[in-house]
Chains A and B, each alone.
Chain A
Amino acid sequence: MRHLARWIAIVYLALLVVWPVSLVFWHTFGDGLAPVFATFADPLVLHAFRLTAVATAWSVVLNVLFGVTISILLVRHEFPGKRILNVLVDIPLSVSPVVVGLALVLVYSQDTGIFGKPLAALGVHVLFATPAIVLATTFVALPLVIREIVPVLHEVGTDQEQAARSLGASGPQTFWRITIPAIRWGLLYGVVLSLARSIGEFGAVKVVSGNVIGRTQTATLVVEQFYYEFDKERAFAIASALALVAIAAIVAVGVLRSRAAIKEANS
């Protein structure tokens, strides 16, 4: 019975994940490495990757800052509206990225948006530019850091923090010397997951970026464009690069998790 279940799981994953993804790599390297190098020499492609990197960096930094703050708020403090906040945090996971994109368009549209109009008057253009891409990417990755840290904070409890306070540590000293080291593994998983999610974001970014070639096109958008232009070689090359980064991130999480598990087992 257990064997059967195992085989079903393996076949299911193989058909759904392993086979299609390996086909991407197969297509990429089927004609040798030359076309792959040619793809990554293209300034348009490089620009797209740079934009993806910028959006991902912002998304990770913002989500770490606000994620840690919100997590501590949710775990360590009681306040009215806490449950609502808890639910709001999960919305980016459940709402389709396209909806996120459209929502951002409504808010930041230069003609009608609540924020968009005054910002445009100041000469700041959010929509169809890097800021909107950053916002969309940050939005979709928002829950990942929080959902990793919250259970760790619960588990660690407040004893260590109180001990630090009684030993003379101020609030910030306690935070940096006790709280952060205590949640460091959870934080690291959160960062890696946000990174992977941000790199791969497509739907929300497509809506808010305008998809302007060479200006507001991220790597995922370039893949789509090349694909529709029947330039499958280059589409697959970029797709492979994106997949590689994501796989590397997941492998990193796996290694870190098992390492942390070993550490836990020793304690």
Chain B
Amino acid sequence: MSIDIQGVRKQYGTFVALDDIDVTIRTGQLTALLGPSGGGKSTLLRIIAGLEEADAGRVVIDGVDATALPPQKRNVGFVFQHYAAFKHMTVAKNVAFGLEIRHRPKEEIRDRVKELLSLVHLEQFGHRLPSQLSGGQRQRMALARALAVEPRVLLLDEPFGALDSNVRKELRTWLRRLHDEVHVTTVLVTHDQEEALEVADEIVVINDGRIEQIGGPDELYDAPANPFVMEFLGPVTQFRGEFVRPHDIDMFASRASEAFAGRVVATQRVGFEVRVRVVLPSSDAPTVTTTNTSVSVTRAHFEDLGVGVGDEVWLRVARGAARVQSEAVAVGS
């Protein structure tokens, strides 16, 4: 039940939404399409579902060329950002929709709906209307509805994007557990790197209609292919001509081996962490210009160091840290 996307291209007027995309989504895995809004990830998902037509290229689902198939023949489950609940039907009827379309026997439908509602923890809500549910409940209903037809692939388009951040985190964890139970090949579109890192087996980073990198969450985080991926997956700072994560810089109050001296110009406490801005002499022109480096340390460690604004500190990149050469050494950023 893998999905093969071969040379897919999509253009709206002069805007290229997808530029010759090749990617294979593996069976039984949860793959995240991650990228900024307008980068083309939703378009790709809708092309897989058949809700949008590619200008060129092929979509092969489970070995069958689905490029020309209408959405109702592809057997994919699609979950929309804004739930797309059938407002005039009860929750149970919503979930039963796909089965009723397929003219399954009444008893089978009843049993299956019951089973699915308990899977998404909505057993008590079968007789309600979608308008009587919270956002999180509606999205769980939409998921049960999509799963009811036993789709070959489950496609989720920013499924938690319209929810509060607490509910979003809760549902994200729940989705991962559900996927471990159900094992349906799943593609999740998101612009939230935390969501992708937490939930996905594999992440496809898409930007400007092109794929920037494909890999597991750790692989992407530890070995980003380029500054874009590195920046998109988490905070970055520049240190001596390289992009590094602020928490991957060791900071010392006194001289240390392989460490470079700088001066603290600002500190900011955010919850458990302290962000320290350090000015270093620029690496290529030490006497003329300076560069700013952000360092993130825990509050406890910062207090141990006992440094403040104006003090001298020594910095070096931690061992095993992800680092990417900055293309042009930006000055004074």
The verdict on A169 contacting chain B, using a C-beta distance below 8 Å, is: yes
Task: From the candidates A160, A165, A178, name the one contacting B72 in the complex (CB within 8 A).
Answer: A165
B71 with A165: CB separation less than 8 A: yes
The verdict on B140 contacting chain A, using a C-beta distance below 8 Å, is: no
B87 with A162: CB separation less than 8 A: no
B82 with A162: CB separation less than 8 A: no
Q: Which of A150-165 contact B (CB under 8 A)?
A: 159-160, 162-165
> Which residues of the partner chain A approach B88 to less than 8 Å between Cβ atoms?
181-182, 184
Q: How far is the CA of A266 from the CA of B145 in the complex (A)?
A: 23
The verdict on B70 contacting chain A, using a C-beta distance below 8 Å, is: yes
Q: How far is the CA of A178 from the CA of B145 in the complex (A)?
A: 15
B101 with A163: CB separation less than 8 A: no
Q: How far is the CA of A182 from the CA of B97 in the complex (A)?
A: 15
Shortest Cβ gap from A71 to chain B (Å): 18
Q: How far is the CA of A169 from the CA of B98 in the complex (A)?
A: 7
The verdict on A168 contacting chain B, using a C-beta distance below 8 Å, is: yes
> Which residues of the partner chain A approach B80 to less than 8 Å between Cβ atoms?
159, 162-163
Q: How far is the CA of A266 from the CA of B128 in the complex (A)?
A: 12
| A 169-197 to B, binary, CB cutoff 8 A, 1 in contact else 0 | 11001000110011010000000000000
* Given A159-B84, A160-B84, A160-B87, A165:B51 Cβ within 8 A: yes
The verdict on A94 contacting chain B, using a C-beta distance below 8 Å, is: no
B86 with A160: CB separation less than 8 A: yes
Q: How many A-B residue pairs have CB under 8 A?
A: 69
The verdict on A16 contacting chain B, using a C-beta distance below 8 Å, is: no
With both beta carbons as reference points, the residue of chain A lying nearest to B70 in the complex is identified as A165
Count chain A residues whose beta carbon lies closer than 8 angstroms to a beta carbon of B: 19
Task: From the candidates B82, B84, B101, name the one contacting A168 in the complex (CB within 8 A).
Answer: B101
A182 with B87: CB separation less than 8 A: yes
Q: How far is the CA of A230 from the CA of B220 in the complex (A)?
A: 93
> Which residues of the partner chain B approach A168 to less than 8 Å between Cβ atoms?
72, 75, 98, 101-102, 149
The verdict on B76 contacting chain A, using a C-beta distance below 8 Å, is: yes
Task: From the candidates A166, A169, A177, A266, name the one contacting B51 in the complex (CB within 8 A).
Answer: A166
The verdict on B314 contacting chain A, using a C-beta distance below 8 Å, is: no
The verdict on A167 contacting chain B, using a C-beta distance below 8 Å, is: yes
With both beta carbons as reference points, the residue of chain A lying nearest to B78 in the complex is identified as A166
Q: How far is the CA of A168 from the CA of B145 in the complex (A)?
A: 12
Q: How far is the CA of A110 from the CA of B148 in the complex (A)?
A: 62
B131 with A173: CB separation less than 8 A: no
The verdict on B91 contacting chain A, using a C-beta distance below 8 Å, is: no
Q: How far is the CA of A181 from the CA of B82 in the complex (A)?
A: 19
> Which residues of the partner chain A approach B51 to less than 8 Å between Cβ atoms?
162, 165-166
With both beta carbons as reference points, the residue of chain A lying nearest to B130 in the complex is identified as A267
The verdict on B49 contacting chain A, using a C-beta distance below 8 Å, is: yes
| B 68-102 to A, binary, CB cutoff 8 A, 1 in contact else 0 | 00111011111010111111100000000110011
> Which residues of the partner chain B approach A267 to less than 8 Å between Cβ atoms?
87, 129-131
With both beta carbons as reference points, the residue of chain A lying nearest to B132 in the complex is identified as A266
Shortest Cβ gap from A8 to chain B (Å): 39
B87 with A164: CB separation less than 8 A: no
Q: How far is the CA of A173 from the CA of B97 in the complex (A)?
A: 11
The verdict on B117 contacting chain A, using a C-beta distance below 8 Å, is: no
Most buried by B among A165, A168, A170: A168
* Given A166-B49, A170-B72, A266:B131 Cβ within 8 A: yes
A166 with B101: CB separation less than 8 A: no
Q: Which of B137-168 contact A (CB under 8 A)?
A: 142, 145-146, 148-149
Q: How far is the CA of A160 from the CA of B71 in the complex (A)?
A: 13
Q: How far is the CA of A160 from the CA of B94 in the complex (A)?
A: 11
> Which residues of the partner chain A approach B87 to less than 8 Å between Cβ atoms?
160, 182, 267
B72 with A163: CB separation less than 8 A: no
A166 with B77: CB separation less than 8 A: yes
Shortest Cβ gap from B165 to chain A (Å): 23
Shortest Cβ gap from A267 to chain B (Å): 3
With both beta carbons as reference points, the residue of chain B lying nearest to A164 in the complex is identified as B97
Q: How far is the CA of A159 from the CA of B149 in the complex (A)?
A: 18
> Which residues of the partner chain A approach B76 to less than 8 Å between Cβ atoms?
166
> Which residues of the partner chain B approach A159 to less than 8 Å between Cβ atoms?
80, 82-84
> Which residues of the partner chain A approach B102 to less than 8 Å between Cβ atoms?
168
With both beta carbons as reference points, the residue of chain B lying nearest to A184 in the complex is identified as B88
Q: How far is the CA of A198 from the CA of B50 in the complex (A)?
A: 44
| A 221-247 to B, binary, CB cutoff 8 A, 1 in contact else 0 | 000000000000000000000000000
> Which residues of the partner chain B approach A169 to less than 8 Å between Cβ atoms?
72, 97, 101
Q: How far is the CA of A164 from the CA of B74 in the complex (A)?
A: 13
Q: How far is the CA of A184 from the CA of B148 in the complex (A)?
A: 27
A sample of 12 inter-chain contacts (CB < 8 A) reads A159-B82, A162-B78, A163-B80, A163-B145, A164-B86, A166-B74, A166-B76, A166-B146, A167-B98, A168-B101, A173-B101, A181-B88
| Seed contacts A160-B86, A166-B51, A166-B71; 15 additional CB < 8 Å A-B pairs | A159-B83, A159-B84, A162-B51, A162-B78, A163-B142, A165-B50, A166-B50, A167-B98, A167-B101, A167-B149, A168-B75, A170-B72, A178-B86, A181-B88, A267-B130
Closest CB pairs A-B (n = 8): A267-B131, A159-B84, A167-B98, A166-B78, A163-B84, A165-B71, A181-B88, A168-B72
